[in-house]
Chains A and B, each alone.
Chain A
């Protein structure tokens, strides 16, 4: 096939429109309770909700507080509830929202609210640490790499994509009512190792997950799968971990 020259299509220029955001504000040093405030900024259809928050902070209220870093859905800093759904602000585009209505933005639920859109992430990471999220191989270390077939590598590919943004865990109704529940993200992390052919630590990990606050609390509401910005089949991963517990093998 020749790769030297091909035909090029035409493109169109977009326009900016005013969009109103209703943000749940909470400044612990000034506010008794969280409250909603409206802000209107001009945005292009291809702008992200994160762009809107940056604009609001720059142009309207510098005290608006939120976490963000990479800005393109890979660092997991800016999980928030947008129109009642857990999403990453940097991966939610204006064109995908109904801007004829006010867009609501609030902090993710189930973790202690610290300020505006910022929650205390420590309980989330504590649950992650509990499931022993690291490779536990057995036997002597090989001189070169461990051999793993492409099929074995593919077995846990989906759950390696997790960026620990907490979209799944904080969309889970069980987690909202029972803070001791590990939550979907921690189980996803466990899955990533349980189904890795190089790992020999499944027994210890499954023991943790078999506890009262472990995997059995899941009620398969699929909120987590819907919320995952990385497209991980979270509920499926949880089901696979349950099955591994029942049949005691992976």
Chain B
């Protein structure tokens, strides 16, 4: 076992982690730990754009952007946080440009902007061109640019180091961050990283679902680690299903396709979004579009041999526009479905895409241990965190914005904190729990296997906790998850080696997925209303009287020693926007 000492440890090298590293690295001794290589992070798969009210192509301002974000989030957004994000968005985009990001340009050579779902002019009048973009590979360019700047600044990376535990110690009876425990994939060795500040930037957990745009590696490790420490997770019932996943595969096709003029059609060829959102039609927020698509299929207007998808139609757009502005998704459709978007309709259906919930933080990205108190030295940013700027439904492009704005804030806050305090002593037997977990999995002779358990988990979540939910389906999902958690205790792996043991890695990841699936379902069961991405058919309306509040779930153990999910609530932070009915 090796022990390393840093001021700041960043867990995760996607957009949020590397944006944080660029700030923290110049202020304090920093290292970034990633279970992948930085350039493999899923920020690179983001496509459409990053919104900021630059007003380069038409009138716009950050207050409109704030309003859209709050309304898009069905008023569960913390309004002070949304104001910060939308205001700082402008500098966030300009910072990236200065770092070298190759944005598409206007004829005047300024950063070009295009339309995106739910982003409007003057509080909903019409769609506005707010998304700054680099073709349909904006996330790729952000990830590359941040990595390139990390090289420039000499940021230290530990690649393929899988963080499995966060170490907390107590000061005056309260938890304080002390370090993390990581498993080195190449050797199987356990490392302890002692640090004054720790930033979690570990991304989402889309792999709880079967149909997802998420990478294989998005297994919610960071959230899972926090959860196992008994710290709360916020708003985990709010999961976003992106309307346009390639049917049957879940591969993402950007909303930018509709921003460029693409249209959704059912099997009869009808543009059904005209019925649902008469003003902005196909550019309604994702939760509304996803529900409309599922509704078309349920009512028999789905397309294809099983009538189980709808179409994205780009055929009326000029070939040059499609190839210049949407080259990657055009290639995805050609490669994976053999469909050419220039001349053919593309089969699409909602795909699990983004966790609105996560590790609760304040606007300085400090992790909350309850509604009022932070865990000193612990920070979180990006998809794994819940500030909450996305509320019940995130607007398209606001995730790339979130990682840049709050990644930057996390880097500054973590370094400044580290420069004020001394290292906290590591708790006794820091690595014990991690070694026990790893060795139990490696030596187990159990009869269960990882892949079938994971498949069953994903199938029940797709079936019972997806776009539409009811008490019956959620209870089914909960029973299934409980049964799978029992079976997981008897899981074993075939690879007993220490070097690059991805069999072991997947077993650990499955453990986190099972924990988070339970939190999601329990939180969803208790939210007896429909709001944003959480649509309860048995409670079809938003209930501001009882549920205008964030869910705070945490792991508790009862008198019999059994774990359970305990739910509490946190008020929504309101500034100037009164909740209204959400119409587009």
Contacts and interface: CB of A to CB of B under 8 A. Distances in A.
A121 interface: yes
A145 B134 CA distance: 14
Contacts of A125: 37
Interface in A223-246: none
A160 B102 CA distance: 8
B270 A75 contact: no
A170 to B, nearest CB: 15
A15 interface: no
A91 B94 CA distance: 34
Main secondary structure of the interface of A (DSSP, over half): loop
Given A63-B494, A72-B45, A147 B502 contact: no
A157 B102 contact: yes
B100 A198 contact: yes
Interface string B132-154: 00100100110010001101100
A71 B452 CA distance: 19
A156 B110 CA distance: 17
Given A72-B332, A121-B37, A144-B94, A163 B499 contact: no
A190 to B, nearest CB: 12
Interface stretch (B72-80, B303-311, B407-415, B477-485): B303-311
Contacts of B137: 74, 161
A180 B171 CA distance: 52
Contact of A57 (B98, B110, B313, B451): B451
Given A62-B449, A141-B98, A134 B151 contact: yes
Contacts of A75: 36, 39-42, 44-45, 215
A147 B186 CA distance: 45
Interface string B305-327: 10000010101100000000000
Interface string A2-24: 01111111011100000000000
Nearest to B251: A72
Interface string B103-125: 11111111100000000000000
Contacts of B3: none
Interface string A57-70: 11101110111111
Contacts of B311: 8
B109 A74 contact: no
B301 to A, nearest CB: 11
A204 interface: no
With a 10 A CB-CB cut-off, give which of A1, A69, A149 has the most chain B CB atoms. Answer: A69
A29 B497 contact: yes
B335 interface: yes
B463 interface: no
A29 B45 contact: no
A129 B151 contact: yes
Nearest to B104: A153
Nearest to A121: B37
A9 B346 CA distance: 11
A123 interface: no
Nearest to B507: A62
Contacts of A161: 137, 140
Contacts of A162: 144
Contacts of B107: 150
Interface stretch (B225-233, B260-268, B416-424, B550-558): B260-268
A147 B108 contact: yes
B495 A62 contact: yes
A84 interface: no
A3 B216 contact: no
A76 interface: yes
A194 interface: no
B316 A8 contact: no
Nearest to B56: A145
B291 interface: no
Contact of A91 (B108, B149, B217, B335): B335
A250 interface: no
A148 interface: yes
Nearest to B97: A145
A221 interface: no
B564 interface: no
B84 interface: no
Nearest to A192: B102
B448 interface: no
B39 A6 contact: no
A162 B44 CA distance: 11
B99 A72 contact: no
Contact of A9 (B108, B345, B493, B500): B345
A134 B495 contact: no
B337 interface: yes
A5 B269 contact: yes
Contacts of A118: 500
B336 A72 contact: yes
Interface in B443-465: 449-452
With a 10 A CB-CB cut-off, give which of A63, A75, A77, A164 has the most chain B CB atoms. Answer: A75
A162 to B, nearest CB: 8
A106 interface: no
A90 B47 CA distance: 18
With a 10 A CB-CB cut-off, give which of B100, B103, B106, B304 has the most chain A CB atoms. Answer: B100
Contacts of A121: 37
B270 A4 contact: yes
Contacts of B149: 134
Given A5-B268, A7-B269, A8-B311, A135 B100 contact: yes
A150 B105 contact: yes
A171 to B, nearest CB: 19
Given A62-B449, A133-B148, A13 B494 contact: no
Interface string A113-134: 0111010010001000100011
B263 A3 contact: yes
Given A58-B451, A65-B495, A5 B270 contact: yes
B267 A46 contact: no
Contacts of B44: 70, 74-75, 163
B102 A69 contact: no
23 contacts: A1-B316, A4-B271, A6-B265, A7-B269, A8-B269, A9-B345, A59-B451, A62-B495, A65-B502, A66-B502, A70-B42, A74-B45, A75-B45, A77-B37, A121-B37, A134-B149, A142-B98, A144-B94, A145-B93, A145-B94, A153-B104, A160-B141, A163-B44
A-B pairs, top 7 by smallest CB distance, nearest first, are A135-B100, A58-B451, A62-B494, A63-B495, A147-B109, A134-B152, A134-B148
Interface of B: 36-37, 39-42, 44-45, 93-94, 97-100, 102-111, 134, 137, 140-141, 144, 148-149, 151-152, 186, 215-217, 251-252, 263, 265, 267-271, 274, 303-305, 311, 313, 315-316, 328, 332, 335-338, 344-345, 347, 449-452, 493-495, 497-503
Interface of A: 1, 3-9, 11-13, 27-30, 46, 54, 57-59, 61-63, 65-77, 91, 93, 114-116, 118, 121, 125, 129, 133-135, 137, 141-142, 144-150, 152-153, 156-157, 160-164, 193, 196, 198-199
Given A11-B347, A59-B451, A198-B100, 12 more contacts: A4-B271, A8-B303, A27-B497, A46-B338, A62-B493, A73-B335, A77-B37, A134-B148, A134-B152, A153-B104, A163-B44, A164-B39
